[in-house]
Chains A and B, each alone.
Chain A
């Protein structure tokens, strides 16, 4: 089970226009490496699910688009012969079959004998941690258990590629976080090429080897979680992933000129810029020693940290994540410091 399985996936020039003329997806070209976990991330309606359904074979790309598994064109092969494992947001477990029958369904379709099915089911319930539930009906399972059955069912026939469409969205927050960790461990164990669709950025960060941020049917950025977080290519990506301060200001030979003072930056020349600073990159220091000062407008203590909103320093209020032990209250004047390397300049909108 530890050997890397699965195929390389190439999406070539795939666009999708629905019958009513709605353009769901602009032409996209993308490569997924063998064993890689690629996450499509974006707000609803960004085209990420359409992308997944094209790869699955549930939707046909507009003419000119191709989907290749291991360099073989599978565009015309229907989903039932593509050998893709799929997990749906609703799980889509068959209510007329018990857990074991659900998991073994793909094997039964392929004519596997009872012994073979039983041993594969035993292997998969152990892997997903649902031993003892084999004979349960689906309506006797909790949400988390259903999710695991759906996953076990999807990988039972050793698919070429595993496709997951918002598999954790239907669960409550605490369970979602726990299963995210389990899912990550499981995907690494299986080593299968995985394509994962979500609107949840922390899910994308945890699970993705690479993240494809999508917006309005087009790719906004492709990169590793770190790239996406620290080097967002656009204002949209910066704001969609985590909290971000985006400062519109004039940069003048290595200095960002702000209403509350100035910040040193790694940028020469003169001009209007959009600079992104993450809240945790801003340090709080004494105002006397600072080149940039502001006034604390709000303090929210969240236990692990406190999130401040600081007015007067920039063109708009700055969000600052400060240590949970810092003594600070509304109305205080504070000094702000940011390492030049933590300031990322954004292009375009």
Chain B
């Protein structure tokens, strides 16, 4: 057996897995999406049908805001954590990755416990502000849940990038006369840009496709994964569900591909 043949032989399991679990189901979904009553118009309906369009926009806005807020919070926290050593720091960093262990349903459940009708915030706001604050089932509640599982994904990437920064970059900027704001604006944030793009794309794609949290919280609002679920199970509109799935996949894939193009292939697969 030649080495070359052996190397090719090693590709067989990969090709089999890709074909069985990736290419074939995907092709099937694309075909199914175009084979309903509407035919290929099902794809156009994602944009043209007002209900679907509103859901798509809702989801895009939610995913974008989640990404932006995650990046902002994770950058500030990451800069602090990477530059200060204090007792309990290791424990805190370990706890930051805690949300990764929970399925979306549990995250949704926790948001309900926090901001639901019987939630902690409501119980506190009633005596303090005179009214019961309940926002678990609104866009804000959903955003809070999404932030909860996005921040850990983002903060680890950003902390790793901060650690790799050459400390003399900051010192050079200071020697040239840059105060703290200028150092961050001109040197540190630009140097972290690849990490922002990489982790932002993952946060965005994950938020686009998150189902468990949405399933638990989205009673009044519609997001794309929920819409696919209702079209599929409740309306038995399998073709439309398939078309929407392809649309969702395309948006998430485009975000990751764009990020990969900008950051030179450092974008890992979404968790």
Chain A residues within 8 Å of B, Cβ to Cβ: 56, 58, 78-81, 83-86, 88-90, 92-97, 105-106, 109-110, 153-154, 157, 163
Contacts and interface: CB of A to CB of B under 8 A. Distances in A.
A162 B111 CA distance: 57
Contacts of B193: 96
Contact of A79 (B166, B169, B175): B175
Contacts of B190: 94-96
A83 B178 CA distance: 11
B173 A154 contact: no
A80 B186 contact: no
A84 B175 CA distance: 6
B173 to A, nearest CB: 7
A79 B187 CA distance: 16
Contact of A109 (B166, B171, B177): B177
A90 B175 CA distance: 15
Interface in B154-200: 166, 168-169, 171-179, 182, 186-187, 190-191, 193
A78 to B, nearest CB: 7
Query: Among A80, A85, A95, which residue has the most Cβ atoms of chain B within 10 A?
Result: A80
Contacts of A86: 171-172, 175
A252 B177 CA distance: 62
A78 B176 contact: no
A90 B178 contact: no
Contacts of A154: 175-176
A92 B172 contact: yes
Contact of A80 (B166, B168, B169, B178): B178
Per CB-CB distance, the 8 closest pairs between chain A and chain B, nearest first, are: A96-B190, A92-B172, A106-B176, A92-B168, A86-B175, A88-B168, A80-B174, A109-B177
Given A79-B174, A95-B191, A154-B175, A105 B168 contact: no
Given A88-B168, A90-B168, A96-B191, A105 B173 contact: yes
27 contacts: A56-B175, A79-B171, A80-B177, A80-B178, A83-B177, A86-B175, A88-B168, A88-B172, A89-B168, A90-B168, A92-B168, A92-B171, A93-B172, A94-B172, A95-B190, A96-B186, A96-B187, A96-B190, A96-B193, A105-B173, A105-B176, A105-B178, A105-B186, A106-B176, A106-B177, A154-B176, A163-B175
Contacts of A78: 174
A163 B190 CA distance: 26
Contacts of B176: 80, 105-106, 109, 153-154, 157
Interface in B27-62: none
Contacts of A89: 168
A94 B175 contact: no
B216 to A, nearest CB: 42
Given A85-B175, A86-B175, 6 more contacts: A58-B174, A92-B169, A94-B186, A95-B190, A157-B176, A157-B177
Contacts of A81: 177
A80 B175 contact: yes
B37 to A, nearest CB: 53
A189 to B, nearest CB: 21
B171 A88 contact: yes
A94 B186 CA distance: 9
A110 B186 CA distance: 14
Which of B166, B174, B187 counts the most A-chain CB atoms under 10 A from its CB?
A: B174
B167 to A, nearest CB: 9
Contacts of A96: 186-187, 190-191, 193
Nearest to B175: A86
A89 B172 CA distance: 11
A93 B190 CA distance: 13
A21 to B, nearest CB: 16
Contacts of B173: 94, 105
Nearest to B193: A96
B42 to A, nearest CB: 45
Contacts of A109: 176-178, 182
Given A92-B166, A92-B169, A110 B177 contact: yes
A154 B174 CA distance: 11
Nearest to B176: A106
A93 B169 CA distance: 7
Contacts of A83: 177
Nearest to B169: A92
A83 to B, nearest CB: 8
